[in-house]
Amino acid sequence: MNRMMKTKILYIAGLLLFTVAFSSCNKDFLNEEPILQQTNEFTLSTFKGLNQATVGAYSPLFDTPWYGRNFVVAADIRSGNAKLSPKSSGRFRTEFQWGYNPGTAPGLWTTAYDAIARANNVINAIDAEFSEDDVTQQEIDNVKAECLFIRAIGHFDLVRLYAQPYSHDKASLGVPVILVTEIGLPERNTVEEVFTQVVNDLKEAESIIESDYVRADGNDNKGFVTKAAIQALLARVYLYMEDWQNAADYATKLINNDEFQMYTTEEYTTWDNGGVFGLEAAKVPGEIIFEIYGSEGNTAHGNWDVIAYMLSPDGYGDVGASQDLLDLFEEGDVRGNLFRTHPDFGDALWSLKYPGKSGNLREENIPVLRLSEMYLIRAEALLKGAVVSGASAAGDYSVIRTNRGLTAVSSVSLQDVYNERRRELCFEGHQLFDLARTKRELVRNDYSGTVNQNVPFPDYKWAAPIPLGETDANPNMQQNPNYN
């Protein structure tokens, strides 16, 4: 076996007897309440158990260190899209000033490996030649594909945060690739090895999942893995790998999929009513390919520390919009109206992308993959040399513009696409990683910090430190340079 296949995870918490996994299977996703305590062997011996355990693997995605708040918010505040608002209580100051150290490292490490461990338990049980009377191989494959996607996005987000970008040095230290959930002392795989495993998992998931598979026992169809979600994540992963043709080809699969359509200018303005990310919008054709469904009933719910509460001046409101971002919007661009003021704070602005469901700031859906991103991926890939019959970078770029209240263009540059990604995907956790993968320095004009206003590329700071608890407990875990 190669080093990747031998990799194990250290955390006992990551081992996760299904006591934990089942307690996270909640009524957000299931109509039937799960059994709370079982051994792995008993749980994984039935398809019902495998199915419920798969649902439990989704729960960490909504946890505060991941899409529930920090992973998304920190990426925007570190990249210059966001800043500390005049209402700030001190949250996200470390991120704003790029002041990470091993003791204040991002908490995604434990949360993502939690999800990976849960997914592994199901994958490994199925790979042990699981079968059951009255259960088809396709039903088993669909569940496995969901878990392969969860394992892939876990590793992908980890390597984006804790390692240098693939485009810069794919031979550098990545994160441990965990394929079996056991107590161990893993070493870090290279960035290239991590990306290889992510692609392998997604390609296998794509090959085995039913084309029209939609999980039957959930409230939000877009909150579960589908073939389209797998293909969309592959398009993004190939973009990060600078595999331009595959990125364009996979983006095209989504662009040509009639299940999705761009939000019009009028539809985009419903954002402040819980619109385009709201539950009802997710059930009809629209841009959402995959999202994290948020509910207060989720055991991973962050109470008041959720994303909507953090970005609203009616909540904590610590994180506002920067003038650097606001200056990018042209007159007539509907996206420039998706910011709110507060009477107590003058001209300060906050993003309206997370208004809360029905005004409840403790509940929000978080978009992960959208159709507009696929157009932007293809536009960039075409400018980098990919070829797709009938498609052009200017045409894809214009699709975004004309659906946001602007006019089409006849030509487009890479910088135009980068700026469009920043406008379209702001406050969705992209800009930091876009800067890293394209090897551009961070430049901030609207900045109130005391250090690291601008960050050159390359620089050690583009890879966050491995959490101190992990390096202390595992002698094989090598810290990122300059954080020791």
- pLDDT, one tens digit per residue, over 102-160 is 999 999 999 999 999 999 999 999 999 999 999 999 999 999 999 999 999 999 999 99
- pLDDT, one tens digit per residue, over 156-203 is 999 999 999 999 999 999 999 999 988 899 999 999 999 999 999 999
Q: Whose structure tokens read 């569940």?
A: 143
Three-state SS at 220: coil
Domain span at 63: 40-78+98-223+461-477
Which amino acid is located at 90 in the chain?
G
Q: Round to whole Å and give the CA distance between 287 and 484.
A: 43
Quick one: the chain helix, strand, coil %, rounded to 5? 45, 5, 45
Checking 356-362 for CB contacts under 8 A at 24+ apart, the result is 356/274, 356/308, 356/312, 357/274, 357/278, 357/279, 357/294, 358/274, 359/274, 360/296, 361/306, 361/308, 361/309, 361/312, 361/314, 361/315, 362/296, 362/301, 362/303, 362/304, 362/306, 362/308, 362/309
**Angle, nearest 10°, between helix axes 371-383 and 414-425?**
170
Distance of alpha carbon 423 from the chain centroid: 18
In a domain, 48, yes or no: yes
In a domain, 27, yes or no: no
Q: Report the pLDDT value the prediction gives residue 363, as an integer from 0 to 100.
A: 84
Q: Report the pLDDT value the prediction gives residue 41, as an integer from 0 to 100.
A: 60
Q: Report the pLDDT value the prediction gives residue 40, as an integer from 0 to 100.
A: 60
pLDDT bracket for residue 474 (50, 70, 90): very high
pLDDT bracket for residue 35 (50, 70, 90): very low
436 contacts: CB under 8 Å, gap ≥ 6: 160, 164, 165, 168, 457, 462
In DSSP terms, 292 is beta-bridged to 366
Average pLDDT, the chain: 89
In a domain, 203, yes or no: yes
Q: Report the pLDDT value the prediction gives residue 236, as an integer from 0 to 100.
A: 99
Residue 198, domain CATH: 1.25.40.390
In DSSP terms, 427 is beta-bridged to none
Of 483, 484, 381, the residue nearest 438 (C-alpha) = 381
Three-state SS at 286: strand
In a domain, 105, yes or no: yes
Higher pLDDT, 18 or 282: 282
- pLDDT, one tens digit per residue, over 243-296 is 999 999 999 999 999 999 998 888 886 654 445 554 444 556 789 999 998 888
The average pLDDT across 293-320 equals 89
The average pLDDT across 224-242 equals 98
- Does 359 score more than 90 pLDDT? no
Q: How far is CA 463 from CA 102, 213, 308, in A?
A: 12, 37, 27
**Percent of the chain whose predicted confidence (pLDDT) is above 70:** 88
In total, how many domains does the chain have? 1
CB 255 within 8 A of CB 375: yes
Q: Report the pLDDT value the prediction gives residue 42, as an integer from 0 to 100.
A: 56
In a domain, 59, yes or no: yes
Q: Round to whole Å and give the CA distance between 406 and 334.
A: 9
What tokens appear for 202 in the block? Answer: 């997604």
pLDDT bracket for residue 11 (50, 70, 90): very low
